[in-house]
Chains A and B, each alone.
Chain A
Amino acid sequence: ELKVEQNPLFLSMQEGKNYTIYCNYSTTSDRLYWYRQDPGKSLESLFVLLSNGAVKQEGRLMASLDTKARLSTLHITAAVHDLSATYFCAVDIRGTYKYIFGTGTRLKVLA
Chain B
Amino acid sequence: DAGITQSPRHKVTETGTPVTLRCHQTENHRYMYWYRQDPGHGLRLIHYSYGVKDTDKGEVSDGYSVSRSKTEDFLLTLESATSSQTSVYFCARSRGAPDSYEQYFGPGTRLTVT
Contacts and interface: CB of A to CB of B under 8 A. Distances in A.
Contacts of A31: 101
Given A88-B43, A103-B40, A97 B102 contact: no
Which has the most chain B C-beta neighbours within 10 Å: A4, A44, A99, A101? Answer: A99
A88 B58 CA distance: 18
A100 B102 contact: no
B102 A48 contact: yes
A88 B103 CA distance: 13
Interface in A20-60: 31, 33, 35, 41-45, 48, 50
Contacts of A41: 107-108
Given A31-B101, A42-B90, A45-B104, A97 B31 contact: yes
A97 B90 contact: no
- Report, as a range, how many residues of chain B touch the other chain: 20 to 34
Contact of B48 (A35, A98, A103): A98
A66 interface: no
A103 B38 CA distance: 9
Contacts of A35: 105
A45 B40 contact: no
B65 interface: no
B50 interface: yes
A51 to B, nearest CB: 12
Interface string B16-55: 0000000000000001010100001111110010100000
A45 B101 contact: no
Contact of B102 (A4, A33, A88, A104): A33
B63 interface: no
B55 to A, nearest CB: 12
Interface of A: 4, 31, 33, 35, 41-45, 48, 50, 88, 90, 92, 97-104
Given A98-B58, A101-B44, 19 more contacts: A31-B101, A33-B101, A33-B102, A33-B103, A35-B105, A42-B107, A43-B43, A43-B103, A44-B105, A45-B102, A45-B104, A48-B102, A88-B42, A90-B103, A92-B101, A97-B48, A97-B101, A101-B42, A102-B42
